[in-house]
C-alpha cells in the first residue's frame, strides 16, 4: 500500500486541549484492552495528557481543518527559521504521531467536479 502524500492532507483536531502561556496540553482517553480492563477495573478512566513543546504547540495552533500539512510546514518554517529544520520531516512526523494516537484525523481535500 502506498503511503499518502502527507503534505496534501488536511489535519483536524479530535481531542480536547488547553493552552497556557503559549504552550498546549492535549488530553485524551486511552482505549483499554480486555485484559487491561480486567486487571485495572478499579482504576477510573482518567484522561492522558501530553504537554507539547513550543514548536508542537505552534503547529497544533495551525491545525484548523483548512490548512494542509504542506501549508503548516511553510508557516512553521517562516516563524521558526533554522530552529525548526528539517521542518518538513519534523512536522510530518508530528502529524503521523498525532494521527496514530487519534488526536487528529487527516483528510484529503475534496475537489468538487463541475
Tens-digit pLDDT profile for residues 43-96: 556 678 999 999 999 999 999 999 999 999 999 999 999 999 999 999 999 999
Q: Please report whether residue 83 resides in a domain.
A: yes
Determine the pLDDT at residue 48. Answer: 85
Q: Please report whether residue 112 resides in a domain.
A: no
Q: Please report whether residue 30 resides in a domain.
A: yes
Q: Please report whether residue 17 resides in a domain.
A: yes
Q: Please report whether residue 114 resides in a domain.
A: no
In which domain, by residue range, is 80 found? 6-107
* 8 A C-beta contact, residue 108 and residue 9: yes
Q: Please report whether residue 1 resides in a domain.
A: no
CATH number, domain of 10, equals 3.90.930
Determine the pLDDT at residue 19. Answer: 96
Give how many domains the chain has, as a whole number: 1
Sign of CA dihedral 17, 85, 96, 76: positive
Q: Please report whether residue 92 resides in a domain.
A: yes
Cβ-proximal residues to 101 (8 Å cutoff; 6+ apart), any chain: 28
Determine the pLDDT at residue 110. Answer: 75
Amino acid at each position: 500500500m502506498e503511503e499518502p502524500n502527507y503534505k496534501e492532507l488536511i489535519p483536524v483536531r479530535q481531542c480536547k486541549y488547553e493552552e497556557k502561556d503559549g504552550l498546549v496540553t492535549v488530553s485524551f482517553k486511552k482505549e483499554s484492552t480486555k485484559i487491561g480492563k480486567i486487571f485495572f477495573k478499579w482504576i477510573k478512566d482518567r484522561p492522558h495528557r501530553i504537554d507539547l513543546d513550543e514548536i508542537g504547540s505552534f503547529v497544533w495552533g495551525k491545525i484548523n481543518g483548512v490548512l494542509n500539512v504542506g501549508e503548516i510546514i511553510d508557516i512553521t518554517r517562516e516563524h521558526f527559521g533554522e530552529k525548526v529544520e528539517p521542518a518538513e520531516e519534523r512536522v510530518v512526523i508530528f502529524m503521523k504521531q498525532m494521527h496514530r494516537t487519534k488526536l487528529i484525523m487527516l483528510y484529503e481535500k475534496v475537489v468538487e467536479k463541475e
